[in-house]
Amino acid sequence: MAPKPFAGTFTQQEPLGEAAIAAAIRVLESGRLHRYNTVAGETAEAALLEAEFAAFQGVDYCLACASGGYAMHIALMAAGLKHGEPVLTNGFTLSPVPGAIVNAGGKPVLVECTRNLVIDLDDLEQKAAGARFLLLSHMRGHIADMDRLMAIADRHGLTVIEDCAHTMGADWNGTKSGNFGLAACFSTQTYKHMNSGEGGLLTSNDPDFMARAIILSGSYMLYERHGAAPARSHFEKARLETPNCSGRMDNLRAAILRPQLAGLEKNIERWNDRYSTIETALKSSGLFHLPERPAAEHPVGSSIQFLAEDIAPDAARAFVANAKALGVELKWFGDADPVAFTSNHHSWRFIADQALPKTDRVLSGLFDMRIPLTFSIDDCAHIAAIIIHCGEQMRLKGAA
Ligand SMILES: *Cc1c(COP(=O)(O)O)cnc(C)c1O
C-alpha cells in the first residue's frame, strides 16, 4: 500500500527569528545600509559579522561579500590566477563553481567523482601536474580524505581554495572544512546553512591574499573598516595595484546573519538528526547506495544523496515522478537536460567538453534531496518511507 502523500515544501526554510528581525529593523531605522556608512564610534554590522565568523571558523581573516560564487571568483584572482590558466575542480558540483573559474579568467579542468561523491584522488593525482590551482568543491557536504588530498596538493605545488557552500560548520578530523587550503568560500544564500537571501564569506590566514581580496571586493581606501582584516602594511602594494570588482556585503544582510551564526551549532545537530533518520531508513531498505561517511568526516546533513546504480534513464524519470506524486521532491543528476538548480557537466557548454566516464556513471544513478529544518523528524521518516515505496515500485517494474 502506498504511504500517504507528504505535504511539506522542500524549498521552505525557517523564519529568521526575533533577534534577526529586530537587528534588521535597527539597520533599516538607521538608514546606514552601506558597510562603510557608519557614525563616530560605530562598527558596521558587516565588520562585526567578519570578526564573528573568523572566530567561529578559527582563522585570522574574513571578508563578507556579495555571494559564494563571488567569493570564489575573487579568491582565484587574489591567489594570482593568470588569464587562460587551468584550474582543477570537481566534475560533480554546481555550475557557479566552473562559472567562478571562467569569471576569474581561468580554464576549468574537471576531476572525476567517486561513488561516495567526493573528488577522485587518483584522477586528481594524474591531473595535478598540469595546474597551479584546485578549486575544491565539498559538493553537497561530502568531504574527501583531506589528509591524502593535501599531500597530493603539497607534492604538486597546488594551491587549494575550498568551496564550502555545503560544509559551513563541518569538519574533517577536527579541522574545520575550509581551513585546509589557502582560502575558503562560503555562501549565505537562502538554501545554505545561514540565510541572507544572497551573500558570501571568504576566509584565509594569508594576510597578503586577504588584502588583495578586500581591495577586489570594492573597499576603496576604506579597508581599515573591516572586522577581520590584515594590518595596514599588507595593503601598501595591493591598494593601488588591485582592481575594484565591486561585490560588498551590506549591513542589512550582515545584521540578519549574526544571530544565525550564534545558532548554527544547534542547527547542525538538527540537520544531522534529520539526515540520519532518512539515511538509516534508506540504507536498511537495501535499495540504494548511500555515500560512505568515514569516521573522520563530521558533515552537516542539510541535504541527502543516494544512488540507484545502473538505473535506466526512463526508470529514473519514473522514480522522480512517482515520488513527486507523493509530495517528495527528488533531483536526478543524470538528466540530459538541466532542471532548476541541478545540472551536470555536459550542460556547462561555456567550458571545454571533457570526458568523465566515471562521474557520468555516478551521476546517471544519483538522486538528491534537500532537508529543510522546517521538516520534523517524523516528516523525515515519512519522506524516507515514500522514497523506499517508490524504489520498490521501480524494482518490481524492472523485474516484471
Ligand atoms: C550555492 C553554491 C555555490 C554558490 O553560492 P552562491 O552564494 O549562490 O553564489 C557554490 N558552490 C556550491 C556547491 C553551491 O551549492
Domain with CATH 3.90.1150.10 in the chain: 264-399
Amino acid identity, position 6? F
Q: What would the CATH number be for the domain defined by 264-399?
A: 3.90.1150.10
163 pocket-lining for ligand 1 (C-beta < 6 Å): yes
Given the C-alpha cell 524504489, which residue does it identify?
Answer: 391
Ligand 1 centre to CA of 167 (Å) is: 11
Distance CA 265, CA 260 (A): 10
Q: For position 242, what pLDDT does the model report?
A: 97
pLDDT in tens, 154-193: 999 999 999 999 999 999 999 999 999 999 999 999 999 9
356 pocket-lining for ligand 1 (C-beta < 6 Å): no
Of ligand 1's atoms, which has the minimum distance to the CA of residue 71?
9
Distance CA 36, CA 188 (A): 21
Give the Cα-Cα-Cα angle 138, 141, 143 (nearest 5 degrees).
Answer: 55
94 pocket-lining for ligand 1 (C-beta < 6 Å): yes
Name the CATH code of domain 18-262 (choices 3.40.640.10, 3.60.21.10, 3.40.190.10, 1.10.443.10). 3.40.640.10
DSSP 8-state code for residue 320: H
Distance CA 102, CA 104 (A): 5
pLDDT in tens, 53-105: 999 999 999 999 999 999 999 999 999 999 999 999 999 999 999 999 999 99
Hey, what's the cell of 359? Answer: 562521474
Residue 246 scores a pLDDT above 90: yes
pLDDT more than 90, % of the chain: 95
Domain with CATH 3.40.640.10 in the chain: 18-262
Q: For position 399, what pLDDT does the model report?
A: 45
Give the burial class of 212: count Cβ atoms within 10 A of its Cβ; 0-12 exposed, 13-18 middle, 19 or more buried: buried
Residue 232 scores a pLDDT above 90: yes
Q: Does the pTM exceed 0.85?
A: yes
Q: For position 396, what pLDDT does the model report?
A: 59
Hey, what's the cell of 117? Answer: 561523491
Of ligand 1's atoms, which has the minimum distance to the CA of residue 138?
13
CA 400 to chain centroid, in Å, comes to 41
Question: Sheet of 175-176: strands edge to edge?
Answer: 175-176, 171-172, 297-298
Average pLDDT over residues 108-117: 98
Q: For position 397, what pLDDT does the model report?
A: 61
165 pocket-lining for ligand 1 (C-beta < 6 Å): yes
Ligand 1 centre to CA of 12 (Å) is: 18
Amino acid identity, position 303? S
Average pLDDT over residues 207-216: 98
Distance CA 103, CA 273 (A): 38
334 pocket-lining for ligand 1 (C-beta < 6 Å): no
Hey, whose CA ends up nearest to atom 7 of ligand 1? 68
